Amino acid sequence: MSSMLERLPGWPDLFGWAETGLPGAHVAPGLHGIRIEEHLTDDGTYVVRAELPGVDPEKDVEITVDSGLLTLRAERSEQTTEKHRTEFRYGTFVRSVRLPTGAKDDEATAEYEDGVLTIKVPVPEAKTGTRAIPVRHV
């Protein structure tokens, strides 16, 4: 069915909508989302893995943290080759995730391998239990 829809001129990219949301949902034209996985390990490390194939991590990837919000930004430029059709996305890719409470963002590390960016942020174990606060009588 998708091949039939692809041949209809002017037919919207319904499958692209499923991945990126309805048209106009992006902040700016050419802005795309980044697919991620995230989890907290048993040893207290928050791990975010992001699909970023075809980028140079040293030149095209920026990772920032501001007020507990981790933001990934990447650029992928279109290669000039002869093609009739493409499903690749080019331009700016952005994704933000809220870090867990107490995350030590100043100790975060990032590695890029086989098109996947992995960011690790230590999260110390949260202190549990209730603490009583004494009341002074004045």
**pLDDT tens for each residue of 2-36:** 444 444 555 445 545 444 444 444 345 557 889 99
Distant-in-sequence, close-in-space partners of 108: CB < 8 Å, separation ≥ 6: 63, 65, 70, 119, 120, 121, 122
Decide if 74 contacts 56 (C-beta within 8 A): no
Cα–Cα distance measured from residue 128 to residue 16, given in angstroms and rounded to the nearest whole number: 44
- CATH code of domain 29-122: 2.60.40.790
Going by pLDDT thresholds of 50, 70 and 90, the confidence category of residue 126 is: low
Decide if 111 contacts 117 (C-beta within 8 A): yes
Total Cβ atoms within 10 A of residue 117: 21
pTM of this structure = 0.68
**pLDDT tens for each residue of 45-91:** 999 999 999 899 999 999 999 999 999 999 988 777 776 777 778 88
